[in-house]
């Protein structure tokens, strides 16, 4: 009888943990798959299908430490574009990136996609995260 109750509690606990996990993973999958489409239509021409960039003209998106460093600035860069010198993976880039013309939710999707593709593993960035970041743009 006692073992039955313990087994039951264990099962419930496991189910709870499992459902919590799948909640975040469903959210992640939604952002990620929508982000892949946004990437294809707005970013891929320049940054490449594998995030490889283009020689010394367009920076790659494969350098996790640079992405992490700029993660809170990424929404602002996408919204307003970027001009001037940027250093990515030890290389200097000084071309201009045009404003991407994306909505905050699309920005969240594509930041999630890029942050978890091309060898990066930075987790999910939600629409709320992007909203907070966008309020801090200069």
Partner 1 sequence: MRKLTGGLILLLLLGACKFNGDKKTLPIYGNRTPVTKTVNGQQVTDTVYQSIPAFKFVNQYGDSVGSKNLQHDIYVADFFFTSCPSICPIMQRNMLAVYNAYKDTADIKIISYTIDPKHDTVPVLKKYADKLGISGNSWWFLLGDKDTVYQLANSYLVNVGEDKTAPGGYMHQGYFILIDKQQHVRGSYDGTDPKQVDQLIADIKTLKAEPVSK
Residues lying near partner 1 in the complex (CB under 8 A) are found at 44-46, 48, 54-58, 96, 98
Least Cβ distance, residue 55 to partner 1 (angstroms): 5
Please report how close the Cβ of residue 124 comes to partner 1 at its closest, in angstroms.
28
Pick between residue 22 and residue 45 the one whose CB is nearest to partner 1.
Answer: 45
User: Is the CB of residue 51 less than 8 Å from the CB of residue 61?
Assistant: yes
Distance of CA 10 to the CA centre of its chain: 35
Nearest to 95 by CA among 84, 110, 80, 104: 84
What residues form DSSP beta bridges with 121?
Answer: none
The residue (of 44 and 71) whose beta carbon lies closer to partner 1 is 44
Residue 31 or 93 with smaller CB distance to partner 1 = 93
């Amino acid at each position: 009888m006692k073992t039955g109750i313990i087994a039951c509690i264990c099962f419930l606990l496991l189910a709870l943990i499992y459902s919590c996990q799948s909640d975040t993973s469903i959210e992640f999958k939604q952002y990620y798959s929508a982000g892949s489409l946004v990437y294809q239509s707005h970013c891929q021409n320049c940054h490449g299908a594998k995030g490889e960039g283009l020689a010394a003209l367009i920076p790659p998106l494969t350098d996790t430490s640079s992405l992490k460093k700029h993660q809170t600035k990424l929404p602002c860069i996408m919204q307003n574009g970027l001009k001037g010198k940027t250093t990515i993976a030890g290389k200097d880039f000084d071309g201009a990136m045009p404003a991407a013309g994306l909505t905050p939710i699309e920005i969240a999707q594509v930041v999630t996609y890029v942050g978890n593709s091309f060898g990066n593993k930075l987790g999910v960035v939600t629409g709320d995260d992007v909203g907070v970041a966008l309020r801090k743009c200069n």
